[in-house]
Amino acid sequence: MIKVYTHSLGCPKNTVDTENILSGLKEHFYPVAEPGESDVVLINTCAFIRSAVEESLETIFEVAKDIESLSPRPLLVVTGCLVSRYGSGLGREIPEADMFVPIAKQADLPGRILHMLGCPVDKESPASRPGPFTGYAYLKISEGCNNRCAFCTIPSIRGRLRSRPEPEVLREAEHLIDQGALELVLVSQDSTAYGRDLGYRQGLARLAEKLAVLEGLLRIRIMYLYPSGLNERLLARLAELGPPFVPYFDVPLQHAHPEILKKMGRPFQHDPLEVLRRIRNYFPGAAIRSTLITGYPGEKEWHFQALLEFVRQARVQHLGVFPFYPEEGTRAAGFSGQVPDELKNERRRIIMQEQKKISREYLQSFVQESLDIMVDALHPEWPGLYTGRTWFQAPEVDGLTYISGPGVRPGKMVRAEIISSHDYDLEALV
Cβ pair 182, 221 in contact under 8 A: no
Low-confidence ranges of the chain (pLDDT < 50): none
pLDDT at 122: 64
pLDDT at 124: 55
Fold category of 370-429 in CATH? OB fold (Dihydrolipoamide Acetyltransferase, E2P) (2.40.50)
Distance set, CA 213 to CA 173, 209, 248, 293 (Å): 11, 7, 19, 38
Return the beta strands (E) in 39-113 as ranges: 40-45, 75-80, 99-101
The answer to whether the pTM exceeds 0.85 is yes
pLDDT at 383: 86
pLDDT at 127: 60
**What CATH architecture does domain 136-364 belong to?**
Alpha-Beta Horseshoe (3.80)
Q: Which residues of 306-315 are buried (b: 16+ CB within 10 A; e: fewer)?
A: bbbebbeebb
Nearest Cα neighbor of 16 from 150, 173, 180 is 173
Nearest Cα neighbor of 388 from 372, 405, 376 is 376
Domain boundaries of the chain, sorted by first residue: 2-116, 136-364, 370-429
Helix (H, G, I), strand (E, B) or coil at 348: helix
pLDDT at 217: 95
**What residues contact residue 398 under an 8 Å CB cut-off, 6+ apart?**
289, 318, 389, 392, 424
Alpha-carbon gap, residue 149 to 329, rounded angstroms: 12
Distance set, CA 403 to CA 120, 129, 206 (Å): 45, 29, 35
Alpha-carbon gap, residue 416 to 430, rounded angstroms: 4
Helix (H, G, I), strand (E, B) or coil at 379: coil
pLDDT digits (tens, 9 = 90+) for 138-184: 999 999 999 999 999 988 899 999 999 999 999 999 999 999 999 99
Pairing of the two strands 370-378 and 413-421: antiparallel
Nearest Cα neighbor of 48 from 20, 71, 17, 82 is 82
pLDDT at 89: 78
2-116 has CATH 3.40.50.12160 classification:
yes
Omega before 284 within 30 of 0, i.e. cis: no
